């Protein structure tokens, strides 16, 4: 039996015995969580994990697509969050992945994302007739194409980019390394940046950093935030857009396109899998194929 169902049974007993909820409330929790467990099993999850944020997100997206309104989806999220909080309190999980998905009292609020058309408008905004515009276009494209954190983006070095293979090597939280496909659009913009704009921006200085600002100094997180805000306004996007918005958009667009959850988690660096294990369980060719198939700019 899938361990998820056993954990749900433990949680339901906890609701009855320790929290003293009414039978009607307990049945509502059981119904919601059984539906969620069925979803996890169908998508290859053998048990709940600390990296299930995007599994929960995709489940909520599917509920929306099936016609469930905000109130019903909010109730499902309440059940899921209570379940994961219980698993964390019982030390079954080290942390609660559901806390990253929040909602207001009036309805469900998923992480902010941009539509594919909004992302396209944003990516086409930088003036590539200038060296800075070429750099900015490459940075925004790569952030979205590979689902990077802004800290990962600005700390990339020249050696981390493999234009021939179409991969970028990333060192995420805890110095964990992962390799992510970048797609042909990012490859093209990076090649133009590296061969034309970067040497000019360096101004006879040397630097291992991929993206440089004035006199060859590394682009900072604050500098990128400011630059992204400028292009958001120029693109006419009436949303509060942060670098993490593009990361959420990357994941959501892949998931909505039908990409495998485990593959997306590997690309995001949410899985505790080293680079060697990436190539053991999911080959580079498969990652590239999945990215090209499901990513809007793959």
**Which residues, other chains included, contact 148 with Cβ-Cβ below 8 Å and sequence gap of 6+?**
142, 168, 170, 180, 247
Verify whether residue 176 is a known catalytic residue.
no
Q: Compute the distance between CA of residue 135 and CA of residue 128 in angstroms, rounded to an integer.
A: 8
User: Choosing from 149, 178, 189, 295, which is the catalytic residue?
Assistant: 149
Q: Specify the residue for token string 């990339």.
A: 156
Q: Specify the residue for token string 């793959």.
A: 298
DSSP state of 290: H
Q: Compute the distance between CA of residue 179 and CA of residue 156 in angstroms, rounded to an integer.
A: 12
CA angle 107, 241, 236 (to 5 degrees): 105
Numbers of helices and strands, H then E, in the chain: 14, 3
Q: Compute the distance between CA of residue 118 and CA of residue 232 in angstroms, rounded to an integer.
A: 9
CB 210 within 8 A of CB 161: yes
Verify whether residue 291 is a known catalytic residue.
no
User: Choosing from 19, 71, 109, 173, which is the catalytic residue?
Assistant: 173
Q: Compute the distance between CA of residue 8 and CA of residue 12 in angstroms, rounded to an integer.
A: 6
User: Choosing from 155, 247, 253, 288, which is the catalytic residue?
Assistant: 247
Structure tokens at 156: 């990339």
Give helix 221-234 / helix 131-146 axis angle, nearest 10°. 100
CB 246 within 8 A of CB 295: no
Verify whether residue 84 is a known catalytic residue.
no
Q: How far is CA 293 from CA 219, 253, 259, 287, in A?
A: 32, 11, 8, 10
User: Choosing from 270, 291, 295, 297, which is the catalytic residue?
Assistant: 270
Verify whether residue 81 is a known catalytic residue.
no
Verify whether residue 159 is a known catalytic residue.
no
CA neighbor of 197 nearest in space, from 241, 155, 135: 135
Q: Compute the distance between CA of residue 34 and CA of residue 26 in angstroms, rounded to an integer.
A: 12
List, by residue number, the catalytic residues.
Answer: 149, 173, 244, 247, 270, 279
């Amino acid at each position: 039996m899938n361990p998820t169902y056993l954990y749900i049974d433990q949680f339901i007993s906890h609701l009855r015995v320790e929290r003293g909820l009414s039978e009607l409330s307990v049945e509502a929790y059981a119904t919601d969580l059984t539906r969620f467990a069925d979803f996890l099993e169908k998508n290859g999850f053998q048990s709940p994990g600390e990296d299930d944020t995007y599994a929960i997100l995709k489940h909520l997206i599917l509920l929306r697509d099936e016609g469930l309104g905000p109130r019903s989806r909010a109730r499902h999220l309440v059940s899921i969050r209570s379940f994961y909080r219980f698993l964390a309190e019982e030390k079954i999980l080290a942390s609660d992945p559901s806390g990253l998905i929040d909602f207001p009292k009036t309805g469900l609020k998923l992480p902010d994302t941009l539509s594919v058309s909004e992302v396209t408008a944003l990516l086409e905004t930088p003036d590539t007739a200038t060296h800075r515009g070429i750099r900015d276009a490459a940075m925004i494209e790569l952030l979205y194409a590979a689902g990077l954190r802004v800290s990962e983006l600005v700390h990339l070095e020249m050696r981390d980019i493999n234009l021939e293979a179409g991969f970028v090597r990333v060192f995420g939280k805890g110095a964990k390394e992962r390799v992510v496909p970048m797609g042909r659009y990012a490859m093209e913009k990076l090649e133009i940046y590296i061969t034309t704009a970067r040497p000019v921006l360096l101004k006879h200085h040397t630097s291992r950093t991929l993206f440089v600002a004035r006199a060859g100094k590394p682009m900072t997180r604050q500098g990128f935030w400011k630059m992204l805000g400028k292009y958001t306004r120029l693109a006419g996007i009436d949303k509060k857009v942060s670098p993490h918005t593009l990361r959420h958009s990357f994941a959501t667009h892949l998931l909505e396109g039908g990409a495998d959850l485990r593959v997306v988690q590997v690309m995001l660096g949410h899985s505790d899998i080293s680079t060697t294990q990436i190539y053991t369980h999911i080959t580079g060719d498969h990652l590239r194929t999945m990215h090209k198939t499901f990513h809007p700019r793959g």
